[in-house]
Amino acid sequence: MIGVFLLGAIVASLIAGPLSGAIMKFLDGLNGWHGWQWLFLVQGLPAPLLGLLAWRVLVDRPEQATWLSTAQKTRLRQQLDAESQSSTKASHGSLRDLLCDAKFWTLALVYVVMVAGTYAMAFWIPTLIRGWGVSDLMDIGLYATLPQLGAVAGVILLGRSSDRLRERRWHFTAGALLAACGLATIALGQGQFIISMTGLCLAVTGIASVTPVFFALVSEYLPRTSVAVGIALISSIGNLGGAIIPSLTSAINTATGGTTYSMYFVMSLYLLACFIILLAARRPAPVFQSA
């Protein structure tokens, strides 16, 4: 299953980068639309189409899944039945209790910082590559694919290691430090293409890999009775980082005349996330509330 996901993610990355550049370059002006308008249309179409496909293909019960073996169906049914029994016995905590929990606000702050860094890099990548001397839109799309391939590998490798060792805190720190090192490399590269591109690959790999580890930590760190609503609220609050960061980094770039200091600022966000996780999530996994 992981192999299928990896193959699909690599193919999607290879198509998305060159395709974006080709659309921006060759469809600009067609039917009176700008290239970015065609880009939004073409890349937005697969979502509803895949939604319809999923509605037709996905089934309601393990017994209906033709792609599972008999043993897998039995094992999955037993797990679902066990989870159903435990959830009926649990008394769910109130929203008020969750909002009064310091652990919840600590994790929410970490996610605000993470989302801010993610949004900053998502907006910057084409601009950064152009600033390193690449002017052709097709080439920018091709180079933008390379960091995404690293991100696919990072998500799988760090996630599998974290699950195998049942450890989240130091795996999160490793991914966040990798992102910070990549951002520092970009800033210190001073526009040198090979150095800056290497830093970009490291940064995007680290940024992408910390998210699944973070939510695994959240699911183990919060009480079982409030973990579902906790994840939902943390995700909602975290999006505030994405709303704030574009204006903030733009102001820094305008004041300093370049992206170097805003790059250091985003790097400091990931270092802050490391510090908070190392300080706040010090309990070992067996002590986490999981029942």
Identify the CATH number of the domain in which residue 206 sits. Answer: 1.20.1250.20
CA distances, 169 to each of 30, 72, 176, 275 (Å): 50, 31, 11, 11
Could you tell me if residue 163 is inside a domain?
Answer: yes
Q: CA dihedral defined by 26, 29, 34, 36, rounded to 10 degrees?
A: -10
Could you tell me if residue 240 is inside a domain?
Answer: yes
Would you list the DSSP string of 187-213?
Answer: HHHTT-HHHHHHHHHHHHHHHHHHHHH
Is 29 a residue whose pLDDT tops 70?
yes
Highest mean pLDDT among 14-28, 71-85, 161-175: 161-175
Is 79 a residue whose pLDDT tops 70?
yes
- Taking each helix axis from N to C end, the angle separating 260-280 and 227-256, rounded to the nearest 10 degrees, works out to 150
| Cα 201 to Cα 39: distance, rounded to the nearest angstrom | 23
Could you tell me if residue 202 is inside a domain?
Answer: yes
| Cα 5 to Cα 203: distance, rounded to the nearest angstrom | 22
**Pair of tokens at residue 120:** 């900053």
Is 51 a residue whose pLDDT tops 70?
yes
Highest mean pLDDT among 4-8, 118-122, 128-132, 184-188: 184-188
Residue entry with tokens 């802050």 = 272
Burial (CB count within 10 angstroms: exposed 0-12, middle 13-18, buried 19+), residue 124: buried
Q: State the alpha helices, DSSP H only, in 90-192.
A: 95-99, 102-131, 137-165, 169-189
State the pLDDT at residue 90.
43
Phi-psi bin for 20: left (phi > 0), alpha (psi -120 to 50), beta?
alpha
Residue 282: give the domain boundaries.
94-291
Could you tell me if residue 220 is inside a domain?
Answer: yes
State the pLDDT at residue 284.
45
**Pair of tokens at residue 67:** 């792609």
Could you tell me if residue 15 is inside a domain?
Answer: no
State the pLDDT at residue 61.
85
Number of domains in the chain: 1
Could you tell me if residue 45 is inside a domain?
Answer: no
Name the pTM for this structure.
0.73
State the pLDDT at residue 86.
54
pLDDT digits (tens, 9 = 90+) for 128-185: 888 888 888 778 878 888 888 888 888 889 988 998 898 999 999 999 999 999 999 9
Could you tell me if residue 57 is inside a domain?
Answer: no
Highest mean pLDDT among 37-41, 162-166, 178-182, 245-249: 178-182
State the pLDDT at residue 85.
64
Could you tell me if residue 219 is inside a domain?
Answer: yes
